[in-house]
Amino acid sequence: MKFHIIIAMYNVEEWIVENIAMLRQQSYQNFNVVIIDDLSTDSTINLVNDSIDDDKRFNFVINTEKKYKTRNVVDGITYANAAAEDVIILLDGDDRLFDKNALQTVADTYQKDDCWMTYGSFIRSAGRKKNNRAYKQSVIDAHSYRQNKWLGSHLKTFKYSLWCQLNMNIFQVNDLEVNNAVKRCLLSFNLKRWFSWRKIKAIDLHDASGLYIKRVDDKAFSYPMLEMSGVKASFIDSPLYYYRNDVTDYSSAMRNFGVQNSEKEYTRIIRDILIHKKPYKRLNSLN
């Protein structure tokens, strides 16, 4: 089984060396890495070049235009040129795999469960383990992932053939969906949120291409993947991901690839829209 690890990043000079070092230490070595830099303004690019050295498994792409997180992930998966049964793994530039056996655990899970995707638990850099759990069978049977607590956390992995079942319009929202989200605020008497959302337009939520929302990319594709997979989505309880949440001067603007903190309501309205999108149908196979 071959893994393709996608790292989309922006201004991660303090953490990217550790991230790459943990990848090179993995006990499971059948992987390639696509690293995409989204116009970093610090020393990130130089540090990546030094860290990957002559390791041919690492492919480094430096953007010439601002793309934001979602488009970078999509472009990274395309660049990977994976085979149908290969597995895509998403890793943020400022985080890292939890230990040197993380990839081996993922490989073992795919072999044991014959699954199409995995999700799991992670360790916070400041604080305790994120005590995640598997979706209940009742949620799987009712196809109600979007109406229940979000559990599809790091480490996120999926077969490339599952990714190919997606329509890329999952990364878009339209003005009708925005207007409906605003109406839901008003009907629920959430006037503070209504006041924040009432002037938002769909164009505000996308990158320059108009094809990709700037953020909340994980839920945009994870909801459909969970819906298509059902019992073919495996939960891994062992922490495989080290999530960086202890840096007090690391603003959400950086984590969202240059998006200003004043735009946090954009993330909230996209999340609301994704929850109310029509679910994907369950698949019997990926053929």
What domain count does the chain have? 1
Give the pTM: 0.92
Which of 200, 171, 180 lies closest to 266, judged by CA? 200
Task: Please give the span between the terminal C-alpha atoms of the chain, in angstroms, as a whole number.
Answer: 18
Distance CA 108, CA 119 (A): 14
In a domain, 25, yes or no: yes
Q: Residue 232: its pLDDT value, please?
A: 98
Please give the chain's pLDDT, 287 residues, in tens: 999 999 999 999 999 999 999 999 999 999 999 999 999 999 999 999 999 999 999 999 999 999 999 999 999 999 999 999 999 999 999 999 999 999 999 999 999 999 999 999 999 887 666 667 999 999 999 999 999 999 999 999 999 999 999 999 999 999 999 999 999 999 999 999 999 999 999 999 999 999 999 888 899 999 999 999 999 999 999 999 999 876 544 344 444 445 454 578 999 999 999 999 999 999 999 98
In a domain, 71, yes or no: yes
CATH assignment at residue 138 = 3.90.550.10
In a domain, 210, yes or no: no
In a domain, 228, yes or no: yes
Q: Residue 88: its pLDDT value, please?
A: 98
Q: Residue 215: its pLDDT value, please?
A: 84
In a domain, 102, yes or no: yes
In a domain, 254, yes or no: no
Q: How far is CA 40 from CA 10, 76, 104, 178, in A?
A: 5, 17, 32, 31
Q: Residue 250: its pLDDT value, please?
A: 38
Where are the extended beta strands (E) located within the chain?
3-9, 31-37, 58-62, 87-90, 96-97, 117-124, 129-130, 157-159, 233-243
* DSSP state letters, 104-139: HHHHHHHHHH--SEEEEEEEESSSSEE---PPPHHH
Distance CA 153, CA 71 (A): 20
In a domain, 92, yes or no: yes
Q: Residue 131: its pLDDT value, please?
A: 61
Condensed to tens digits (0 to 9), the pLDDT of residues 37-84 reads 999 999 999 999 999 999 999 999 999 999 999 999 999 999 999 999
Q: How far is CA 175 from CA 74, 125, 202, 233, in A?
A: 23, 38, 5, 32
Condensed to tens digits (0 to 9), the pLDDT of residues 138-170 reads 999 999 999 999 999 999 999 999 999 999 999
Q: What domain range is 236 assigned to?
A: 3-167+217-249
In a domain, 130, yes or no: yes
Which is it for strands 58-62 and 157-159: parallel, antiparallel or unpaired? unpaired
